[in-house]
Amino acid sequence: MSKPSDLTYDAVVIGAGHNGLAAATTLARQGKSVCVIESRDGIGGMARNAAIAPGVVAPKMAHLLYNLNPKTLKELGITAPKSVSLPTVSLADDGRHVVIQGDLVSYADGSAHPEAATFAALHKRLTKFAALLGQMSLKTPPSLAGGLMDMATLQELAGLAKLGIGLKRMGKKDMREFLRILLSNAYDLILDDFADAPLAGMLAADAVRGAYAGPRSPGTVFSMMYRLGNGGDVRLPMGGMGAVADTFANAAKLAGCDIRTGCGVAQVIVENDTARGVILADGSVINARSVLSSIGAFQTMQMAGVQHYDTEAVRRLRNLRNKGTVAKVNLVLSGAPDFVGLDAKLTAGRLLIATSATYVERAFNPVKYGDMSNAPVIEAVIPSLSDPSLCSDGQHILSANVQYVPYALAGGWTPAARQKLLKLTLDRLEVYAPGLGRLVTHSEVLTPLDIETQTGAPGGHWHHAEMGIDQILTLRPVNGMARYGFGIAGYYLCGASAHPGGDVMGTAGRNAARQLLKDGVLA
């Protein structure tokens, strides 16, 4: 679908990642004309596939689904992409690997784990708490600015009252426990009940996944609960993450959106403090009644011009915490690797190297000083074992998220530094899969700096900004700008740096579009 340049769209959406596409689809399904602009040649952002080597297609960056919200999918007219549920295998140096699926825990050889009942109880409790917090994910963060005589404010209060009622219905014991642990650190919570071993390591690693934080950092229990917002199931999409992105794009096209790739936005047009369209990198102009941006919050401000924001807003956005700590390493293998102590089903699972909570905390320490960890936390998956269509000629792809790796490495990301990161990753994997290095025929290393360069994600951060307690809900991305409207009339933030944050789920985009409609911008 194309339109003459003299026509005005109801909305232009900057960025064709899952959030941008979700925002566009939400508006288009309400009869609005929408144009999505993507600077790269393809859609998907971090949720895309790439040809890593001849005959090998792999998830370029993100490789698993965690928090797809069924209500968001239903509203977008999307059928959940075909996927398989994966067990998590927390690898152990002594070969006593721990298998976790839902609230069930056992050893890889099938024998009972002594902490299975304790884990099931903790999982049940945290999932219950997460469901309460999850009520907020599909709503705009509340504002009470209108006063008690304002109807909109009263509606906000009603939503908060519902949350309070849900908390009270938990019962006094659970309510006290929720309030006790909400802002505490994951390390203490975990080691109160578990030995400092691979099961504790898995819990600690999941509490800080993608974060510039260790499990001792305040607020990491909240992150644990965030991961359980939709049950905590870990799913591998068939066809890779690119298939997920295609699902979002197809929904947008079906709704009537115009998606343009290969030419980015250079500037947002602002007239009389109102967004009026965009100027593309090639100089062409697209007029619109509103603009939504799915890129980083600070970059969104820069695109409109800092002169349109007060000094305090500029200061807050400039100081937004978004230091990426996760590198992506893709390994093309000539055959399937052999992980000692794992059968074929478990080898195809989510493999985690985080042998204890202390291991995770120690892995975080070097990144504070601009260095990479010599014993990193690694989340690896071999998607070709579950989906052979990704590779040909007996090849396989091992996709690894490596944490902790600094965005700004001391000495810079030289070829030697990249080779060191690759070697560190292979050395850790070979502890559990001897000989894996001999299977590697091609490798790709993406540092946080590369991720920023290739996707625009600020700091190479997978969530565009830390999911810390000072950057969530009414403080996301910053205080005073949490309700998607971005300081200029008709200008909205719809990416991962907006509430409810990261993961491939599209909820931030959906929420932003709904708020734009509620605000009457397109009335």
Q: Which two tokens stand for residue 297?
A: 């919050």
Q: What is the pLDDT of residue 157?
A: 63
- Whether omega for the bond prior to residue 404 falls within 30 degrees of 0, making it cis, is yes
Which tens digits make up the pLDDT trace of 392-439?
A: 999 999 999 999 999 999 999 999 999 999 999 999 999 999 999 999
**Residue among 63, 513, 463, 10 at smallest CA distance from 245:** 63
Q: Is 333 helix (H, G, I), strand (E, B) or coil?
A: strand
How far CA 308 is from CA of 15, 217, 272, 300, in Å, comes to: 22, 36, 10, 12
Q: Evaluate if residue 313 carries a pLDDT over 50.
A: yes
Q: Evaluate if residue 1 carries a pLDDT over 60.
A: no
Residue whose token pair is 């071999």 = 382
If you average pLDDT over every residue of the chain, what do you get?
92
Q: Evaluate if residue 99 carries a pLDDT over 70.
A: yes
Q: Which two tokens stand for residue 519?
A: 């605000």
Burial class for 198, CB neighbours closer than 10 Å (0-12, 13-18, 19+): buried
Q: Evaluate if residue 222 carries a pLDDT over 90.
A: no
Could you write out the three-class secondary structure of 69-109?
A: CHHHHHHHCCCCCCEEECCEEECCCCCCCEEEECCEEEECC
Which tens digits make up the pLDDT trace of 155-179?
A: 666 666 677 777 777 888 888 888 8
Which tens digits make up the pLDDT trace of 3-33?
A: 445 578 999 999 999 999 999 999 999 999 9
- In angstroms, the CA 517 to CA 470 distance is 28
Contact partners, residue 357, CB within 8 Å, separation at least 6: 186, 187, 190, 191, 196, 200, 201, 203, 204, 215
Q: Evaluate if residue 237 carries a pLDDT over 80.
A: yes
Using the 8-state DSSP alphabet, how is residue 112 labeled?
B
pTM of the model: 0.93
Residue whose token pair is 């009339």 = 489
Q: What is the pLDDT of residue 152?
A: 63
Q: What is the pLDDT of residue 417?
A: 97
H/E run at residue 450: helix 448-455
Average pLDDT over every residue of 326-342: 97
Residue 188: CA count within 13 A, CB half-sphere = 11
In the chain, list all ranges with CATH 3.90.660.
235-239+322-455
Which residues share a beta bridge with 37? 14, 260
The phi and psi torsions of 29 (rounded to 5 degrees) equal -70, -10
Q: What is the pLDDT of residue 70?
A: 86
The phi and psi torsions of 478 (rounded to 5 degrees) equal -145, 165
Q: Does domain 235-239+322-455 have CATH number 1.20.120?
A: no
Which tens digits make up the pLDDT trace of 191-215?
A: 999 999 999 999 999 999 999 999 9
- In angstroms, the CA 402 to CA 376 distance is 6
In the chain, list all ranges with CATH 3.50.50.60.
9-82+240-321+459-519
Which tens digits make up the pLDDT trace of 405-415?
A: 999 999 999 99
- CATH top-level class for 9-82+240-321+459-519? alpha beta
- In angstroms, the CA 44 to CA 38 distance is 9
Q: Evaluate if residue 277 carries a pLDDT over 70.
A: yes
Q: Which two tokens stand for residue 110?
A: 């099938």
Using the 8-state DSSP alphabet, how is residue 140 labeled?
P
Confidence of residue 137 (pLDDT cuts 50, 70, 90): confident
Q: Report the DSSP pairing between strands 326-333 and 274-280.
A: unpaired
Share of the chain above pLDDT 90, in %: 79
Q: Evaluate if residue 81 carries a pLDDT over 90.
A: no
387 against 230, higher pLDDT: 387
Q: Which two tokens stand for residue 360?
A: 């995770």
